[in-house]
Structures are given as structure tokens and as C-alpha cells.
Amino acid sequence: MKALRFILVLALSLHMLSVRAQDRSQARSMVLSRHGIVATENPLASQAGAMILAHGGNAVDAAIAANATMGVVAPMMNGIGGDMFAIIYEAKTGKLYGMNASGWAPASHTIERLKGKGITAMPNKGIESVTVPGVVDGWDKMLRRFGHKKFSEVLAPAIRCAEEGFPVAEIVSVVWMDSEDLLRQDKNATDTYLPNDHPLEVGEIFRNPDLAKSYKEIASRGRKAFYEGEIAKRLVEYSKSLGGTLNAEDLAKYSSEWVEPICTIYHGWTVYELPPNGQGIAALEMLNLMENFPLTKYGQNSANALHVMIEAKKLAYADMLRYVADPKFSKVPVAGILSKDYAQQRSKEIHPEQANCDVAAGTPPEPGNDTTYLCVVDSEGNMVSFIQSNYSSFGSGLVAAGTGFALQNRGGLFSLDPASPNALAGRKRPLHTIIPAFMSKGEVRIAFGIMGGWNQSQAHAQFVSNVADHDLNIQAALEAPRFTKMTFSGCDVQMESRIPEEIRKELQSKGHNIYLRGDFTQAVGGGQAVMRDFSKGVNYGASDPRKDGAAIPEPLER
């Protein structure tokens, strides 16, 4: 009888384990390894980074190799014509380092000059939207400080990919086709990105010999090749031919900078972002606001939880838009915005039953559509949270002859209102959308990011809540349904259709105007994450199904 009871209990236990395994809500498992993991938006880029790890590189080496390859396989989203930011975790010291490689406006690029040309709003395309690209200088500083490899080694996979060609991925192909009209406005862009006079379709092979040549120059001469060499000469000549103001000194004098990450504590997790001129401070303020409500009790993606997060987004973004700018030109009240007391007071503006359609910026106390994100963890536990962008698809739409890359249109984020903290000025950096993130608790470290313009801070806060409030693993936290509000006023909000209809109806009763998107929409961005559990010596990787990417472990055989 006892034996029979034991068998029945065992059978029931095995059945319950089977049910839990079969009925989980996430689509993919995490990638686990004792060695390194690279997570990017394209498996070829992840593979490039993983191979660098296998050949003795560390997380910084792998991140740069993966990013350079992303510039080949997803040129609309990123490339050496854009900017980058990174958070680097050094395992042996336990310290975090921030890299701000956002470029500045040309010295002669001023409000007066544009208004003199009859321009009344900051252009989002063309030569007037171009700022100095910061990514190559950022690569250089990261390699010099932390890397084990040389430029020639980390750029080798990208050079090979650009020369030999690669099959275009699904999501990349859609964005490429949507950008055809922009690319046809510039002969060099047409020649580079519309081979055979059409956008690349899924599975079609694309080669970029001009980009391979640019990479080879950087591999040989480092940052000087880009900011003082032949590439710089081509950029300046092209700008001049279009009536732009970019000159040799704008490039030669540019320098990215090391910055101290800013942070807040949310339910036991320390969450890090980079300081202004980026929007990351809005994610931290959102978390401070959310902390004043019992989100765990409300339940994941319940109407009450979503209402609080949407309203917190409005408050935090109003403050971000009002105060955040280049701190070398404006005083940004970082400590005040991140104050827990300020968040407690500001959270009282969130009505439990009514959406606020007209949110104004607060008064912090004095102190007393397109990006690529990737992340890496190596076998020692060093980690890189890395984000890079042209701003919108193919940036300005301009390609200097022979370079093989599009110039960013990041200058479109400046304002022509002289009273704005984000007013255009020479050698000034604009308010930036792209942000890497990092979080830690006990022996666990997570590098993560979710791209998508003004979506990013609100997506970061949702990811953190999924982990901290609802105990989701990093893959499930990325896959979970998200909302996004890309506007700064009104009660509109976009939401994935996986959020149940009854929840959406309850939110509508509170005054939210919901625009329903697909199950896994690009509108809410796509992310990557890697995690290190130092107590186990195990690395974990996750990749968002909203992208073409994958988390790929370091090969076991070199």
C-alpha cells in the first residue's frame, strides 16, 4: 500500500512538472553558459562577438565586433555614421563605467543661420540634421581602456561580412523597403543601398565594399582614419557640396567622454542609466514614481498596474523634456529629479481612476525610429550594455561618396526655440533617445536595453518591473506584453494585443485611448539582455522575439 501511494505521489509530481514545462507563457528559453554570451538583433552579429570571445577577447572586444557587424547587416538602424552609449561592468573591481559617445553639432550650425535660410523648425532629414558621428571615438576609448584586442581584430568579422555579403533578415528587409523614397533622394545612398535599383528583399545577398574599405582604414589607423583621415575628408567635402557646415575641425576636435552612471533603488534592485544628455533619467524617475504603488499586489499587466505605469511615464517624460539637455550648456537638476521625496510628491498627481491627458513638468528640488541594442557577458563576468543608432532609418538619408555608411540625423532633436534647454548651438549635443541600462541585486548583474526612440525609458521601467515585481526571468521579462506612449501629451497609448480585452476595456474606462497593435509589435521596441549570477558562475542570455536576433554563447572549441 505504501509503495502504491509513493508511486501515485511520484506520478502526480512528474505530471505537475510536465504541465509547468508545457504551459509556460514565454516562447523561448534563456541561453545558459559558463562561458560568454552575446545577444544582438542579428545572429551574424552575435556570432561575430561570440567568436571574438572564443579567441581571447573580452566583453568590450566582443561588443565592438558585434556592433561593427550590425552596421553591415542592419545599416538602417546603426553604423559608424551614428552615436553610441555604453555601460561597462568590470568584474574584478565591481565598478561600472559609462561611455557617452554622442556627437555635437558643427560649430557654425546655429539657430540664426537656419532662420536666415527661412527654416522655422529643426530639419529631420538632409544635411542640416547631421551631427558629428561619435561611435568610432567611443570604440577607440573603450578598446584602449578595457579591450584585449586591436581594431584590426575586432573589425575583421564585419569586414568579411561586408565584402562577402550576407542574406538580408526579415525585419531588416521591411524597414529597408519602407526607406526606399528617402534613399532615392541621394545618389550615393541609392548606389549604396539600392543595388540593382531596388531595396533588399528577405534572403537577398547584400555586399557593401565601400563600408569594408572604411572599416579597413579604421582597422589600420584607428580613430584618426575617421576623424582626421580620408573618411573625414570625404565627409567634409560632401557636407560642403550640400551647403552644410561640417568642417575638419568639427571632426578632429570631437571627443567622447567617460561619465558616471546614475541610479535608483527599486524594490531591492539598483538600476543604472547614463546621465543627461540621454533620456535614461526618465526611466529612473518612472521607477521612483511606480514604487509608491503596490504593483506586485496589482499583478502583472493588470489594469491598475498598467494605469500607474502609463501615468508615471507621462510625469517622468514631462520632466525629461523640460530639463534634460547637454549639461555643458544647461544645468540639469539630476539629483532633484531622482529624489525619492520628489517622486512621492509627484506620485500624488496619479489619480487611481482617471488618466491625465495634460501633464505638466514638475519642479524638482535643488540638490542638498531606429536603434540597435546589444549586450555581452564574458566568462569572467565582465559585461557591456551597448546601444548605437543613426536615429531614424538610414539617418539623414545621406551617404558620402565611397564611405558605405549613412550619416545620422540626430540634430533633428534640437529645438530652434532659443529659450529651450535643448536649443541648437554649435558644438552642443542634443537631448538623446538611446540609452543602455544595468541592474544589480546581491550576486546577480543584468545588462539590458530596449530600443525604439522615446519608447526606451518606459520600456526599461516595464522590464525592471517584470523582474523585480513579478519575478520573471530575463527572457520572459523581454517577451512580456508592453505598452508605449510615443507622444508627450494626450491620453493616447499603444498596446500589444496580448494584453487581454477585459484589461483594455478597464483602462479605457479610466480615460486611456488605446491604439491596439499586433502580438509582438515593433512599436514597443525590441531588446536584449544578459545576466551573470556570480554565486553560481553562470551566464544567461535573452533575445526579444520582436527582432531578428539571438543570444549566442561563446563556442566551446576555439
Q: Is residue 371 annotated as part of the catalytic site, yes or no?
A: yes
Q: Tell me how far apart the alpha carbons of residues 69 and 552 are, in angstroms, rounded to a whole number.
A: 15
Question: Which residue, among 273, 246, 276, 270, has the nearest Cα to 261 in the 3D structure?
Answer: 273
Q: At 331, phi and psi to the nearest 5?
A: -85, 115
Cα 276 from chain centroid? 15
Strand partners, 166: 206
Please list, in sequence order, all residues whose beta carbon lies within 8 angstroms of the beta carbon of residue 365, skipping any fewer than 6 positions away: 333, 336, 339, 341, 342
How far apart CA 210 and CA 238 sit, in angstroms, is: 16
Among 412, 551, 524, residue whose Cα is nearest residue 33: 551
Residue 448 pairs with which residues in a beta bridge?
437, 529
* Grid cell in block for residue 165: 555579403
Catalytic member of 40, 131, 371, 403: 371
The answer to whether the beta carbons of residues 512 and 519 sit under 8 Å apart is no
Q: Are 114 and 424 in contact (CB under 8 A)?
A: yes
φ/ψ (deg, to 5) at 247: -125, 175
- CA trace torsion 523, 528, 529, 530 (10° rounding): 180
Rounded CA-CA distance 531/551 in Å is 11
The SS3 of residue 99 is: strand
Instruction: Quote the radius of gyration of the chain (alpha carbons, Å).
Output: 23
- Cβ within 8 Å of residue 357, ≥6 positions away: 489, 490, 491, 511
Give φ, ψ of 272 to 5 degrees: -115, 140
Nearest to 411, CA basis, from 398, 423, 394: 423
Question: Could you list the active site residues?
Answer: 371
